[in-house]
Amino acid sequence: MSKEFVGVDISKDTLDIATYTREKIWSAPNSEAGINHLIEELGELGSLLVVMEATGGYETNLAYALNKSGIPCAIVNPREVRDFARATKKLAKTDAIDSRVLARFAALIQPDPRPLSDEQTQELEAVIARRRQVIEMLTTEKNRLHQAQKTVRGAIKAHIDYLEKELNHIDSDLQGRIKESPIKHEKYNLLQSVPGVGPNLSSTLVIELPELGNLNRRQIAALVGVAPLNRDSGNMRGKRSTWGGRSQVRAALYMSTLVATRFNPIISQFYAQLCARGKAKKVALVACMRKLLSILNSMLKHHVPWHFSPPVLTVNNI
């Protein structure tokens, strides 16, 4: 039996499903009962690859149900699918059309299914996502306080106090959960030994970049989105730029790199060298992000802390 490719367009309440070879389209509720019924229907199609877009969490229940049932599933970037749709002249957009595009994307691109996180990691991902939300609210309220009228300043300050207490509670919870996993705790401690790397980056890397230490420096830089990409055509050599990657990891890495340019001897020296050569500060900072990520990747690969691994962490061989 030939392999079937299935595209699922997901909304809050509905799943729209299309197959590639059989041109079948149908809908199901995005609920436990609807997902269970869909799993039964998909089981009758034989060998499968199911592709869906990342939709901010609406895809989670279906993805875990497919994974539990042993049906290969790939969650892809919506931008990739829209670029594919434009390239194949599918400009109209409805749920049915989107599911058809996803099925065709699955058949022609065949993205690799990616195993889902275990339950413990899922909980950690939820905690660190909540931490980011609280920090965003806290930043907004602090910015709002500067221009607030006297009548509302007290309420804003009270909300800031509440958010700061909530952030402390989340940080304590996060540290406790990481300590429960010996592997994650070991990685966390190794990362913490690096000057400029604080709890936020360490937690983010341990939870949201499990590939760290298992890939080479070019692969990990591309995965995070700090690798310069070529823009060449013929004799023209375009300006290299970074693009894509895991934005949440990159944001945490950026903040730590700012600190590292002052307090980490390797990163500060590297940053100074780049600036002395006339590199723009933003370009130099991105290069330092890549350098710091390579150092951390090397440390986890060799299971060595910062101060015990000078051969691995020299400027020339990172």
Residue 43 is predicted with a pLDDT of 86
Q: How many CA atoms lie within 13 A of 46 on its CB side?
A: 9
Report yes or no: 200 and 258 within 8 Å, Cβ to Cβ.
no
Among 70, 61, 46, smallest CA distance to 8 is for 61
Two tokens, residue 42: 């998909």
Question: ∠ CA 198-202-203 to the nearest 5 degrees?
Answer: 115
Strand ranges for the chain from DSSP E: 4-10, 14-19, 25-29, 48-53, 73-76, 232-233, 236-237
199: left (phi over 0), alpha (psi -120 to 50) or beta: alpha
Q: What is the pLDDT of residues 203-242, one digit of tens each?
A: 999 999 989 999 999 999 998 999 875 554 455 454 555 5
Confidence check: pLDDT of 23 > 90: no
- Residue 55 — pLDDT band, cuts 50, 70, 90? confident
Question: ∠ CA 191-194-200 to the nearest 5 degrees?
Answer: 55
Q: What type of residue is 16?
A: D
- Residue 264 — pLDDT band, cuts 50, 70, 90? very high
Distance from the Cα of residue 259 to its chain's centroid: 22
Instruction: Kindly list the domain boundaries of the chain, sorted by start residue.
Output: 4-109, 119-180, 193-318
Report yes or no: 11 and 58 within 8 Å, Cβ to Cβ.
yes
The residues with which 19 forms a beta bridge, in sequence order, are: 6
Question: Which residues are CB-neighbours of 1 under 8 A, at least 6 positions away?
Answer: 46, 47
Lowest mean pLDDT among 19-23, 160-164, 209-213: 19-23
**Whether domain 4-109 has CATH 3.30.465.10:** no
- Residue 106 — pLDDT band, cuts 50, 70, 90? very high
228 φ, ψ to 5°?
Answer: -70, 130
- DSSP assignments along 41-78, one per residue: HHHTT-SEEEEEE--TTTTHHHHHHHHHHT--EEEE-H
Residue 241 is predicted with a pLDDT of 54
Number of neighbours of residue 212 by Cβ within 10 angstroms: 21
- Residue 120 — pLDDT band, cuts 50, 70, 90? confident
pTM of this prediction? 0.70
Question: Which residues are CB-neighbours of 288 under 8 A, at least 6 positions away?
Answer: 257, 260, 261, 267, 270, 271, 274
